Amino acid sequence: MDRVTVSEAAERLGITQDAIRQRVRRNTIQHDKAPDGRVHVYLDESHTPPQDTHDDLVDALRDQVEVLKTELADWKAEAQRKDTIIMSLTQRIPELEAPRQEPLETYEAAEEPQGRGQPRSDATGQQEGAQWPWWRRVFGG
């Protein structure tokens, strides 16, 4: 077992000095206090993390960063593709709108109230709704 200071123990274990002090306070790590008030911690091989763990972690994080960069580029390309589609569709809206066949008529109240969806009759008694589009027959117009 090695007898080391709190700062040396923190460095060897790869954690903060506060974490070592908390372990001392909870008595989860072997330690002693010198007459001058300094705390020393006892470490053995089980307390020392293997060095390759740090390197493996760094490599794994770098790989993850590369994957995330690739995904970000894919998302940007997809967003740009969708923006292009939306822009082309909005430019075609005037082409898609049908020209009006007949001018809009003003609303004239019928002499007799009629229910929704019933076609109105003109002066000759014929039903105008038969020649109107369905939405005019339903909503009036």
Quick: pLDDT tens for 17-28: 999 999 999 999
Q: What is the pLDDT of residues 82-122, one digit of tens each?
A: 999 999 988 888 877 766 666 555 555 444 455 555 555 55
The answer to whether residues 16 and 28 belong to one domain is yes
Q: What is the pLDDT of residues 24-77, one digit of tens each?
A: 999 999 999 989 989 999 998 766 665 666 788 888 999 999 999 999 999 999
Nearest of 56, 38, 50 to residue 14 by alpha carbon? 50
pLDDT value at residue 97 = 72
Give the domain extent around 84. 50-95
Nearest of 31, 50, 42 to residue 1 by alpha carbon? 42
| Residue 39 covered by a domain | yes
| Residue 83 covered by a domain | yes
pLDDT value at residue 27 = 92
| Residue 132 covered by a domain | no
Half-sphere exposure of 113 (CA within 13 A, CB side): 1
| Number of folded domains that form the chain | 2
| Residue 9 covered by a domain | yes
| Residue 8 covered by a domain | yes
In the numeric block, the tokens 């105008």 are attached to 128
The answer to whether residues 6 and 39 belong to one domain is yes
Q: Is the dihedral of CA 104, 110, 115, 121 positive or negative?
A: negative
| Residue 108 covered by a domain | no
pLDDT value at residue 75 = 97
